[in-house]
Amino acid sequence: MGRTHGVHAEPTTFGLKLLGWWYELRRSRERVERAFAGVSVGKLSGAVGAYGNVDPRVEDLVLAELGLGREDVATQVVARDRHAELLASLAILGSSLDRFATEVRHLQRSEVREAAEPFARGQKGSSAMPHKRNPITCERISGLARVLRGNAVVGFEDVPLWHERDISHSSAERVVLSDSTTLAHYLLDRFAWVAEGLEVYPERMRRNIDAAHGLTFSGSVLLALVEGGLSREAAYAIVQRNALRAFEQEVPLRRLLEADPEAAALLDAATLDRIFDLDAALRNAGVAFDRLEAAHV
Amino acid sequence: MGRTHGVHAEPTTFGLKLLGWWYELRRSRERVERAFAGVSVGKLSGAVGAYGNVDPRVEDLVLAELGLGREDVATQVVARDRHAELLASLAILGSSLDRFATEVRHLQRSEVREAAEPFARGQKGSSAMPHKRNPITCERISGLARVLRGNAVVGFEDVPLWHERDISHSSAERVVLSDSTTLAHYLLDRFAWVAEGLEVYPERMRRNIDAAHGLTFSGSVLLALVEGGLSREAAYAIVQRNALRAFEQEVPLRRLLEADPEAAALLDAATLDRIFDLDAALRNAGVAFDRLEAAHV
Amino acid sequence: MGRTHGVHAEPTTFGLKLLGWWYELRRSRERVERAFAGVSVGKLSGAVGAYGNVDPRVEDLVLAELGLGREDVATQVVARDRHAELLASLAILGSSLDRFATEVRHLQRSEVREAAEPFARGQKGSSAMPHKRNPITCERISGLARVLRGNAVVGFEDVPLWHERDISHSSAERVVLSDSTTLAHYLLDRFAWVAEGLEVYPERMRRNIDAAHGLTFSGSVLLALVEGGLSREAAYAIVQRNALRAFEQEVPLRRLLEADPEAAALLDAATLDRIFDLDAALRNAGVAFDRLEAAHV
Amino acid sequence: MGRTHGVHAEPTTFGLKLLGWWYELRRSRERVERAFAGVSVGKLSGAVGAYGNVDPRVEDLVLAELGLGREDVATQVVARDRHAELLASLAILGSSLDRFATEVRHLQRSEVREAAEPFARGQKGSSAMPHKRNPITCERISGLARVLRGNAVVGFEDVPLWHERDISHSSAERVVLSDSTTLAHYLLDRFAWVAEGLEVYPERMRRNIDAAHGLTFSGSVLLALVEGGLSREAAYAIVQRNALRAFEQEVPLRRLLEADPEAAALLDAATLDRIFDLDAALRNAGVAFDRLEAAHV
């Protein structure tokens, strides 16, 4: 069941969620790789970057040996916008992993239970409450993503150094560069573990859709009424009053529409069959996969 | 005079500072352009991104009309890592402008006075103190860069939306997307004004170098003593004791070295001429410009 | 139903949630009031705070007229740690409102539906999906809290001004002081509206508790088994195996315990009655209210 | 010399700077102590804070033993607004230390040289440049203050936990609570070392004031001309034109005023003596100290 605002919306597929993550991670990988390339430059151009006591050819030799690019114009150090980009790219990566982890945490809620992070054999769910299986790894990912975000601010602040360099960035970088790279690696490792062992419960997904009393198809009802000749406003009013009643009284929307003269006049059984058809609602859910496949052929 | 830690280091050129800014801005332009390309995607794939009631071909038509790319897999909205990247790229741009503005503010200090931001005709420097010319535009740039940094944090936090979308990002984006793009434009506009009208005082630059009592060449003295056969430690001790005396008593380092038997034994007049030669110290300062020119031929 | 990690834990009461919010808001009010008192100081001590051209008695007269305290030692301006405290206190207030709004958003989820933010008469839930009632006000509160957090960073950065003042803080404060105070007021106003009109569904709360198959009492089972003479490890193993079965097969935990020889040997009917008793589990839920009442007598 | 915008303003005293720091640190100490008191509460009220399996009297006994206050209403944990306040108070403390450290860095600039952080015996100023004495400890303080600011953001984000608690805050707190408290202690320790051993050069302070060509008294000239009968605009024009000339040609402002007929007509020698009198300009600089003393009697 697709959910917006935490509320049932229209059906989607679990595969589509995963495919969205895949694309988002691919974007992050490009960002992080570009940022690492950005900081992979060095300089050997003297105390203020003017090659005062250094032959520029020495720099070329040393950097070639180290496999580093050459900073175009250095001060005493390589410019810090490069490291700010790295820390920001790691903060975005962490925030995306936070999104995926939050999705798992939502799906593992007692009332939803459509998926769950792996449960290590012999793991105790809770010291006081033996029945619990908690998404603690995903929660840890969400928590540590905050540290990556906070560290990105440090990276921004490290850019405006004084003149040909003050050394204030150095102490800060010793904390945040090592912490952010290590944490990003750890979060990726943990999320890979979650993704590989993720438990998925299709029958619960189906049950949650069914528990929606057909409300998930209300958009299609609206379109059908408009196609039947009603103004959008009139159609909306009909759908909303029946939808709210279905929601509050927990009865199927379809049955209410059949009993509503205004709706029934425009929606015959065949139309309703077509509307309240989960497979039809998902008929285009494979489009994004087809595109990906086509791109790789 | 090149300065590290706020303290005189070795000579550099003003042009080299500017060239460093140019490269840093070029990197920022690439980052910002890439980020704008990243958010220039749209989606028309229905309430949860599964094309439930929408023909995928409609999306292609509309996006082509709007000149937007297609989000690979959307939820109800385009993924927010894209906007986080935009806000982060603007924060880095602002931090770089903060660096350049801070440089101007330093150079405009009463004791340094090597450059000054433009002074609008008829501008009052200070209501209470008529003699003052303050770098208020550069200070404004430094201040507003902080807002860009704070807004980037909001962008990171907007990434982990719930399921197929919650709308929490929307209210935040109405503040930070408009503020950050507007502020970035304003800071660029103001910094361009500063750069175009920047007043530069070469004679003060020369005077500040001369006021260093030759200390700026102490690195070359060190190398010459080592070349003369001393160990680095022994050479360092000689230079440091004379340098500290020159600094504290405000006498030329060269005169002290000539009077120091250990130093004088290894440094004849020709060597000292070569060491205390500003042009020689800057002989490689054009290298970065040559490379840039070569790259454009 | 009390929930930790998003998973059913032990029962609590809705009133206790609200009382927790009340205390947290009271703490925030103290923080914000103290911070406003902190910035309610002025200075009229000249261009650098040394009363160079100003008689100190004039400052006293003016500040008394304005109802402001006197900055102990000013530079050209009042010290900015005061404003940083204000912005930080508003960020904490916003984060607490974010917590309460997030709770409502969770309770309004389709699968939980224990409460809902008010639905303005005539409000359309969703343009495409007429059945939806979305917690958009609470989501807006969560979103704007991020802006308050980002602005607090600006407040911190505004503290380290140069010498007797540089004016960089001014441009930044024009954005963040007005935005943060306005947003904090708006968030309080909107949250008050949510709290006053909050729809609460006790029968759904009861149903969600019942849907837990008695798992919520597993902690009490554990204690009873330990009191019955088992080691904690042995008791834990018994509870966990039955709890996981109850959870997976969706059968009452009590029935499984009755059928489990090891458990049944130690848990007679009276004990089980006492364990699986919601009122007993909540017998101390009024303690915090009693204390509050006692404190006011 | 007092400086605003990095530019000479009016005279002040070094003692007044320090007294301002003292007051600012006192405010920070109050904030930090209050925040530590705020987190010094505990709870033993069961898995969701409702004392489900716990006798409330046990909590009282345990907390009394631990010397902790009681959380008014807990969830599974103590509310996190308390820890956000702690991290924010440390970020403000760090930002104030950053301000003081930045002041020392400015005063230690080669062109200013009015003070310098202690130079450990045997310390090498710079590996390549033996003459340098760099304010590296103060730069380290400025750098690490950024980490404290970034960590405060994490504290804000940790407030909105789910329901009766999710554990996302825990991983983040293991990083930021220990780092921020340790760093704050380290910064205080280092700044105390700087303050105790600070080298101060009164003769340089005097020389820098003298190098201002009397411009620092331009505010007093302005007042004297207005008292002499000129409009503020006319007086301002006279002062500004002479001040700019004094600044650019580096000649004493007093001499220019004596040679300017419009100025000379209103400013006799006695008046000029009074205006260009450093002691007179600082006659009120002791007021803040007198007040402090009076408050302690």
Q: Which residue of A has its CA nearest to B54?
A: A284
Flag whether residue A181 sits within 8 Å of chain B, measured between CB atoms.
no
Test the B interface: residue of D104, D105, D111 with most B CBs within 10 Å? D111
Instruction: List Cβ neighbours of A220 (8 Å cut-off, separation of 6 or more).
Output: A275, A281, B52, B53
| Residue from A74, A81, A50 nearest A159 by CA | A81
Which chains pack against C, by 3+ Cβ pairs within 8 A? Answer: A, B, D
| Residue from C191, C171, C179 nearest C150 by CA | C179
Give residue D132's pLDDT.
78
Pick from D4, D101, D142: CB nearest C163 = D4
Q: How far apart are CA B155 and CA A96, in angstroms?
A: 12
- Average pLDDT taken over every residue of chain C: 94
* C-alpha distance from A164 to closest chain D C-alpha (Å): 13
Q: Which residues in chain C have Cβ-Cβ distances shorter than 8 Å to A249?
A: none
- Average pLDDT taken over every residue of chain B: 94
Residue count of chain C, please give it: 297
Flag whether residue A142 sits within 8 Å of chain D, measured between CB atoms.
yes
Structure tokens at C281: 């589990």
Pick from A10, A131, A218: CB nearest C218 = A131
* C-alpha distance from D185 to closest chain A C-alpha (Å): 15
Flag whether residue C111 sits within 8 Å of chain A, measured between CB atoms.
yes
Q: How far apart are CA C28 and CA D82, in angstroms?
A: 10
Q: Which residue of A has its CA nearest to C140?
A: A5
Structure tokens at C118: 């008010």
Flag whether residue A166 sits within 8 Å of chain D, measured between CB atoms.
yes
Give residue B142's pLDDT.
98
Instruction: List Cβ neighbours of B269 (8 Å cut-off, separation of 6 or more).
Output: none
* C-alpha distance from A12 to closest chain C C-alpha (Å): 15
**Residue C297 pLDDT more than 80?**
no
Structure tokens at C85: 């405290």
What is the bridge-based pairing of β-strands B41-42 and B69-70?
Answer: parallel
- The residues pairing with A4 across neighbouring beta strands, listed in sequence order, are A7
- Interface contact flag, B171 C144, Cβ < 8 Å: yes
- Interface contact flag, C4 D72, Cβ < 8 Å: no
Structure tokens at D6: 């990095």
Continuous segment of H or E residues that includes residue D73:
none
Three-state secondary structure along B143-165?
Answer: HHHHHHHHHHHHHHHCCCCCCCC
- Interface contact flag, D160 C142, Cβ < 8 Å: yes
Segment C42-55 mean pLDDT: 94
Q: Which residues in chain A have Cβ-Cβ distances shorter than 8 Å to B57?
A: none
Cα angle D252, D253, D254 (rounded to 5 degrees) comes to 90
| Residue from B206, B9, D136 nearest A47 by CA | B9
* C-alpha distance from B232 to closest chain D C-alpha (Å): 10
Q: Which residue of B has its CA nearest to D112?
A: B111
Total Cβ atoms within 10 A of residue D281: 24
Flag whether residue B110 sits within 8 Å of chain C, measured between CB atoms.
no
Three-state secondary structure along chain B?
Answer: CCEECCEECCCCCHHHHHHHHHHHHHHHHHHHHHHHHHHCEECCCCCCCCCCCCCHHHHHHHHHHHCCEECCCCCCCCCCHHHHHHHHHHHHHHHHHHHHHHHHHHHCCCCCCCEECCCCCCCCCCCCCCCCCCCHHHHHHHHHHHHHHHHHHHHHHCCCCCCCCCCHHHHHHHHHHHHHHHHHHHHHHHHHHHHHHCEECHHHHHHHHHCCCCHHHHHHHHHHHHHCCCCHHHHHHHHHHHHHHHHHHCCCHHHHHHHCHHHHCCCCHHHHHHHCCHHHHCCCCCHHHHHHHHHHC
Segment C126-143 mean pLDDT: 84
pLDDT tens per residue across span C267-283: 999 999 999 999 999 99
Total Cβ atoms within 10 A of residue C30: 13
Q: Are D120 and D69 in contact (CB under 8 A)?
A: no
Test the C interface: residue of D80, D83, D92, D144 with most C CBs within 10 Å? D92
* C-alpha distance from A109 to closest chain C C-alpha (Å): 5
Give residue A131's pLDDT.
65
Look up residue B58 and give its amino acid. V
Give residue A133's pLDDT.
86
Flag whether residue A132 sits within 8 Å of chain C, measured between CB atoms.
yes
Q: List chain D pLDDT tens, one digit each, 297 residues.
A: 999 999 999 999 999 999 999 999 999 999 999 999 999 999 999 999 999 989 999 999 999 999 999 999 999 999 999 999 999 999 999 999 999 999 999 999 999 999 999 986 666 666 666 667 899 999 999 999 999 999 999 999 999 999 999 999 999 999 999 999 999 999 999 999 999 999 999 999 999 999 989 998 988 999 999 999 999 999 999 999 999 899 888 899 999 999 999 999 999 999 999 999 999 999 999 999 999 999 986
pLDDT tens per residue across span A7-58: 999 999 999 999 999 999 999 999 999 999 999 999 999 999 999 989 999 9
Cα angle C259, C263, C264 (rounded to 5 degrees) comes to 60
* C-alpha distance from B269 to closest chain D C-alpha (Å): 21
User: Integer distance in angstroms from the first to the last C-alpha of chain B?
Assistant: 31
Give residue A123's pLDDT.
65
Catalytic residue positions of A?
Answer: 5, 126
- The residues pairing with C200 across neighbouring beta strands, listed in sequence order, are C115
A122 Rama class: left (phi>0) / alpha (psi -120 to 50) / beta: left
- Interface contact flag, C163 D47, Cβ < 8 Å: no
Flag whether residue B215 sits within 8 Å of chain D, measured between CB atoms.
yes
pLDDT band at A122 (very low <50, low <70, confident <90, very high): low
Instruction: List Cβ neighbours of A187 (8 Å cut-off, separation of 6 or more).
Output: A93, A94, A97, A141, A144, A145, A148
Task: Tell me which long-range contacts A52-55 makes (C-beta under 8 A, separation of at least 24).
Answer: A52/B10, A52/B11, A52/B12, A52/B219, A52/B220, A52/B281, A52/B282, A52/B284, A53/B10, A53/B219, A53/B220, A53/B223, A53/D128, A54/B284, A55/B284
Q: How far apart are CA B142 and CA C34, in angstroms?
A: 29
Pick from B12, B79, B95: CB nearest A20 = B79
Give residue D123's pLDDT.
65
pLDDT band at B297 (very low <50, low <70, confident <90, very high): low
Q: Which residues in chain D have Cβ-Cβ distances shorter than 8 Å to A153?
A: 146, 149-150, 153
Give residue D122's pLDDT.
62
C70 Rama class: left (phi>0) / alpha (psi -120 to 50) / beta: beta
Q: Which residues in chain B have Cβ-Cβ distances shorter than 8 Å to A220?
A: 52-53
- Interface contact flag, B12 A164, Cβ < 8 Å: yes
| Residue from C3, C211, C216 nearest C107 by CA | C3
- Interface contact flag, B167 C140, Cβ < 8 Å: yes
Structure tokens at A45: 């151009």
Q: How far apart are CA C198 and CA C21, in angstroms?
A: 14
Flag whether residue D128 sits within 8 Å of chain A, measured between CB atoms.
yes
Pick from A1, A7, A134: CB nearest C7 = A134
Q: Which residue of D has its CA nearest to A140?
A: D168
Give residue B147's pLDDT.
98
Which chains pack against A, by 3+ Cβ pairs within 8 A? Answer: B, C, D
Pick from D128, D154, D162: CB nearest A147 = D154
pLDDT tens per residue across span D10-19: 999 999 999 9
State the pTM of this model. 0.95
Phi, psi at residue A70, to the nearest 5°? -105, 130
Flag whether residue A96 sits within 8 Å of chain B, measured between CB atoms.
yes
Structure tokens at D277: 């009198």
Q: How far apart are CA C44 and CA D33, in angstroms?
A: 31
Q: Which residue of C has its CA nearest to B156?
A: C146
Q: How far apart are CA C87 and CA C155, in angstroms?
A: 6
- Helical spans, DSSP H, in chain D: 14-39, 56-66, 81-107, 136-157, 168-197, 202-210, 218-227, 232-249, 253-259, 261-264, 269-275, 278-281, 287-296
Q: How far apart are CA C128 and CA B54, in angstroms?
A: 12
- Interface contact flag, C136 B167, Cβ < 8 Å: yes
Burial code of A267-296, b = ≥16 C-beta within 10 A, e = fewer?
Answer: beeebbeebbeeeebbebbebbeeeeeeee
Structure tokens at A202: 């299709």
Q: How far apart are CA A292 and CA C133, in angstroms?
A: 35
- Interface contact flag, B131 D243, Cβ < 8 Å: yes
Q: Are D59 and C67 in contact (CB under 8 A)?
A: no
Catalytic residue positions of B?
Answer: 5, 126
Look up residue B213 and give its amino acid. H
Test the C interface: residue of A7, A124, A260 with most C CBs within 10 Å? A7
- Helical spans, DSSP H, in C108-252: 136-157, 168-197, 202-210, 218-227, 232-249
Q: Which of C126, C170, C178, C231 is catalytic?
A: C126
Structure tokens at A56: 């520029």
Look up residue C65 and give its amino acid. E
pLDDT tens per residue across span D197-228: 999 999 999 999 999 899 989 889 999 999 99
Phi, psi at residue B70, to the nearest 5°? -105, 130
Q: How far apart are CA B53 and CA B83, in angstroms?
A: 27
Q: How far apart are CA B242 and CA B246, in angstroms?
A: 6
pLDDT tens per residue across span A225-239: 999 999 999 999 999
- Interface contact flag, C134 B47, Cβ < 8 Å: no
**Residue B243 pLDDT more than 70?**
yes
Give residue C235's pLDDT.
95
pLDDT tens per residue across span A12-24: 999 999 999 999 9
Q: Which of C76-90, C115-129, C148-162, C235-249 has the lowest mean pLDDT?
A: C115-129
Interface predicted TM-score (ipTM) of this complex, two decimals: 0.94
